[in-house]
Homo-oligomer: A and B are copies of this chain.
Amino acid sequence: MPRARQSEVAVLGALSVAPMTGYAIREAIRDVLGHFWSESFGQIYPTLAALEKDGLIERTEGGTAKASPYAITAAGESHLRELLAQPIQRTPPRDGLMLRLFFGRMTGTDRCRTLLEEVLSEARQRLAMFAALRAEIAGEEQYAQDAPYWLLTVSAGEHTARASIAWAEESLAALEAMEGKP
């Protein structure tokens, strides 16, 4: 039972929105899916080659002078639909932050406080980023069909970020209470 090549879904999905070069795919994934997905060049280009070989995508003529973007084919679209219908591939969780808090007794409350303050500031940054992303998505009218789905994922990010903030603040208070009676 081989694990599904998840990169295939992401790359094919990106091309289902608009034709793009490999480079542009990476940028799109970093900027728009960045908060829940990542792809490296070393994964994108081999995937593109494999997809083209299977006739799921094809190079388009010209476009910009520089390079020829890939476009998804009809076969590619139906393949993507199949992939998206498959059960979700959950990656086993490995959260280094939680590990450090769990074994916090070894390092003390100070280290934990530092970690939690990092969580706080990062979550706040993420919230600002999501606000910008929301505006950007609402602005691009050519993707009006996709926008409602995209906003679902942005909303997920916002909920998670707000939860992180609430949790971190609560935990910082708990740490302070701990220090009172060690």
Interface residues of A (CB under 8 A from B): 6, 9-10, 13, 16, 33-38, 77, 80-81, 84-85, 88-107, 111-112, 115, 145-146, 148-153, 155-156, 159-160, 162-164, 166-167, 170-171, 174, 178
Chain copies in the assembled complex: 2
CB pair B95 A37 closer than 8 Å? yes
A sample of 15 more A-B contacts (CB under 8 A), given A37-B99, A152-B174, A155-B167, is: A6-B94, A13-B102, A33-B98, A33-B99, A35-B93, A36-B94, A36-B98, A37-B94, A80-B103, A81-B106, A84-B111, A88-B97, A105-B149, A159-B163, A160-B163
CB pair A171 B150 closer than 8 Å? no
Q: Given A112-B152, A170-B155, check contact A107 B84 (CB 8 Å).
A: yes
Residue of B nearest to A89 (CB): B96
The SS class assigned to the A binding surface is helix
Residue of B nearest to A33 (CB): B102
CB pair A156 B149 closer than 8 Å? no
Measured CA separation A77–B106 after assembly (Å): 8
Residues of B within 8 A of A6 (CB): 94, 96, 99
Residues of B within 8 A of A92 (CB): 38
Measured CA separation A164–B157 after assembly (Å): 10
Q: What are 6 A-B interface contacts by the 8 Å CB criterion?
A: A9-B103, A16-B103, A16-B106, A33-B102, A38-B92, A101-B156
Question: Which of B88, B95, B160 makes the CB contact (< 8 A) with A36?
Answer: B95
